[in-house]
Amino acid sequence: MDPSSKRRAERSPRGNTIEIIAREWLSLQKKRLKASTLTRETNQPEAFIFPGPGSRPVTQITPLEILAALRRIEARGTHDTAHRTRSSCSRVYRFAVATGRAERDATADLKGALAPVVKRSFAATTEPGRIGELLRAIDRYVGQATTHAALKLAPLSFCAPWGTQSRRVGGVYA
């Protein structure tokens, strides 16, 4: 570590804020990340972290302050966004540790502190008698041409439900 850069960082705490470190990290990731990922990685901290603890030096921010910001996201019902934002903050903290501006990742203490993401199951037609009903509904679909084409192709690639196995009988799978 360069002692002169350390002294400069200590004299200028504004250079050690989460916001500045995050923007520096994002500028390094521009070539590696897709545009949509880069946008999400930029928008989430801007909306939820920078207005609160993001304007203070990274060494002065406690895990509870970050948790409070993440709880505000959870209160909106967007648990997945809260988890992604925590991960983004963790990457920024790890970058701060790597560049000598923080001693540890404060978000590491927050693993398990957020409500789990609830995954939903989507309805599936598993009864053979209802397949005809599904095919007629696909034919009646009115919407974008590409969606209609995709719906017409989907039955051609139906998969067997989990747990069933095909068996070969006389050269034909049954």
What is the number of structural domains in the chain? 2
Please give the model's pTM, rounded to 2 decimal places: 0.62
What per-residue confidence (pLDDT) applies to 157? 78
CATH code, 60? 1.10.150.130
Does residue 149 lie in a domain region?
Answer: yes
Q: Which domain range does residue 136 map to?
A: 121-158
DSSP result, 78-138: -HHHHHHHHHHHHHHHHHHHHTTS-SS-GGGGGTTTSPPPPPPPPP----GGGHHHHHHHH
pLDDT beyond 90 at 95: yes
Residue 61 and residue 28 share a domain: yes
What is the C-alpha separation between 142 and 134, in angstroms, rounded?
14
Q: What are phi and psi of 26, to 5 degrees?
A: -65, -35
Residue 103 and residue 127 share a domain: no
Residue 14 and residue 81 share a domain: yes
Kindly report, residue by residue over 19-67, the tens digit of the pLDDT. 899 999 999 998 898 988 888 888 888 888 888 888 888 888 899 999 9
- Mean pLDDT along residues 62-87: 91
Q: What mean pLDDT is reported for the chain?
A: 82
Of the candidates 11, 96, 85, the residue with the CA atom closest to the CA atom of residue 46? 85
Residue 128, class by beta-carbon neighbours within 10 Å (0-12 exposed, 13-18 middle, 19+ buried)? Answer: exposed
pLDDT beyond 80 at 2: no
Does residue 51 lie in a domain region?
Answer: yes
Residue 139 and residue 106 share a domain: no
Does residue 174 lie in a domain region?
Answer: no
